[in-house]
Amino acid sequence: MFGSVYTGLSGLIAFSKGLDVISNNVANLNTPGYKGNDLLFRDLFYRYQLSGDGDGRSTATQIGTGVNAKGTSLRFMQGDLQQTGNATDVAIDGNGFFILRSETDTFYTRAGQFEFDDSGYLVARGADARVAGIDDSGNLSDINIKGMRTNPAQPTSEVVLANNLSTGSTSHEIPEIQIIDSLGGSHTFKMTLTNNSAATARSWLVNIVDESGLQVATDAEIRFDGDGSPLVDFNKVTVNYQPDGALETEITFLFGEPGGFSGATSFSAGTDSTLSVDSDNGVSAGVLLSTAFDSDGVLTIKYSNGEEASSGRLALAWFDDLQSMRQIGSGMFLAPASSDVIVAAANESVMGEISGENLEISNVDLTREFTDLIIVQRGYQASSQVLTVSNEMIQQMLDMGRKG
């Protein structure tokens, strides 16, 4: 009977630990990246006795000594993805852990709550650890946008013109051609084309002035072939332009490829010409507008001038033995030094894909937790009942001794 007291007590202790595990799961219902735990129960050693009968047969008796909480098992199943609208929030849809690096340790997490610090590094929010990226050689590196908060100006070096310059018109004007100088300043050129066919067949004279009236090009000449396509060696006008304070820039006005019809042409269309600017390569200076991660984990930066740039790619890790990982709080895990780790980018090797502006929420299932809670409660109640009955039997035995 005394043994049953200790056996019942072991049940009370084990089920109490079970309640601790369940309560922690429920408390972290809304914790991003949290993985639920299950308590593992194990029966304890047995008292084994072999006794013989008069007929030569033997009978074995095995009496257990209770239960013990062996440990916990992590549930690594995928949690649902929840949209946040925050550009630096990311989730992994599939296998993988984000890699966080401090000065002394390397951590792993499924909670992609990141932000850029004052130095431009991508870091885990609320933790002193940088988010690791991966380069083309497979090496880990920090993701930093410090030098990419602005996009430098790109001076205009080429302006492409297209559409028709009618042989029946005497002149044609393109009043607004936007030009960017070496400092990112914007200038407006006016181009005037004058029919010079009286002097040279299918010839046009080109004059260009800027917004201040400065003559940029004077009587430059372009010509067209008999089929209306630009003539070789006369299909472009090149000028040098240097506004105050800026560097001199060479600008080419391209009227199309010789013999081609995708650029400027010269057909008979009465007095109406439609020649206009098709494209140019000048870009004004821009500032960072937004950042975003694509499904491959590549960080894309968008600027106010319409330009885009890439800055790093998220690194992911995966392990052959997930149960060996140790939870340390804040959604982070530590891996034993003996673990075999696979490091790759999203959508490579065994890794899943990145879902930007999303977070993976906890994988805790309340229905399951409440079911386990009932089982733990009943188990605790039953174990306490064993103690009660054992106590009553012991008391009854002691009372028998007093009556004797």
Is 80 exceeded by the pLDDT of residue 58? no
Of 261, 280, 299, the residue at which a domain comes to its end is 280
Which percentage of the chain shows pLDDT scores above 90? 76
| End residue of a domain, out of 253, 280, 307 | 280
What does the pLDDT read at residue 67? 86
Is 99 in contact with 123 (CB distance < 8 Å)? no
Domain that holds residue 388: 2-76+363-403
**Are 113 and 205 in the same domain?**
no
pLDDT digits (tens, 9 = 90+) for 2-33: 678 888 888 898 989 999 999 999 999 999 99
Pair 121, 208 in one domain: no
Give me the half-sphere count of Cα atoms (radius 13 Å) on the Cβ side of residue 389: 11
- The tally of domains found in the chain comes to 3
Q: Based on the domain organization, do 168 and 129 belong to the same domain?
A: no
For the cut 70, the answer to whether the pLDDT of residue 378 exceeds it is: yes
263 and 370 co-located in one domain? no
Mean predicted confidence (pLDDT) in 357-362 = 96
pLDDT in tens, 202-216: 999 999 999 999 999
pLDDT at 248 over 90: yes
Q: What is the mean pLDDT of the chain?
A: 91
Assess whether 54 and 70 both reside in one domain: yes
Are 243 and 356 within one domain?
Answer: no
Give the residue from 137, 81, 90 showing the smallest Cα distance to 109: 90
**Which pLDDT tens digit goes with each residue over 175-200?**
999 999 999 999 999 999 999 999 99
- Find the mean pLDDT for residues 380-391: 87
Residues 202 and 244 grouped into a single domain: yes
Question: Is the Cβ–Cβ distance between 275 and 163 less than 8 Å?
Answer: yes
In sequence order, what are the residues at sequence separation of 6 or more whose Cβ sits closer than 8 angstroms to the Cβ of residue 104? none
Give the pLDDT band (50/70/90) at residue 223: very high
pTM given for the model: 0.78
Predicted pLDDT of residue 56: 62
What are the Cα distances from residue 359, in Å, to 35, 73, 121, 181, 338?
14, 23, 20, 44, 30
CB-side neighbour CA atoms (13 Å) of 58: 6
The DSSP secondary-structure symbol of 228 reads S
**Residues 145, 162: one domain?**
no
User: Which residue, 249, 280, 311, sits at the end of a domain?
Assistant: 280
CA-based nearest residue to 90, from 344, 296, 249: 296
The answer on 232 and 167 residing in a single domain is yes
- Residue 370's pLDDT band, with cuts at 50, 70 and 90, is very high
d(Cα 33, Cα 29) in Å, to the nearest integer?
10
CATH code of the domain containing 223: 2.60.98.20
152-175: average pLDDT: 96
- Mean per-residue pLDDT, 113-130: 93
Given this model, what pLDDT does residue 1 score? 62
Q: Among 220, 232, 221, which residue's Cα sits nearest to residue 260? A: 232
Do 116 and 183 share a structural domain?
no
404, pLDDT greater than 80: no
Residue 58's Cβ-count burial label (10 Å; 0-12, 13-18, 19+) is: exposed
Do 120 and 106 sit in the same domain of this protein? yes
| Sequential DSSP letters for 233-266 | T-SEEEEEE--TTS--EEEEEE---TT-SSSEE-
State yes or no: pLDDT of 54 exceeds 70. Answer: no
pLDDT score at 131: 97
Residues 59, 7 within the same domain: yes
**Residue 71 banded pLDDT, cuts 50, 70, 90:** confident
Residue 396's pLDDT band, with cuts at 50, 70 and 90, is: confident
- The residues, any chain, with a CB within 8 Å of residue 350's CB and separated by 6 or more, are 95, 96, 318, 342, 344
Q: How confident is the model at residue 390 (pLDDT cuts 50, 70, 90)?
A: confident
How confident is the model at residue 226, as a pLDDT?
Answer: 93
- Res 319: pLDDT: 94
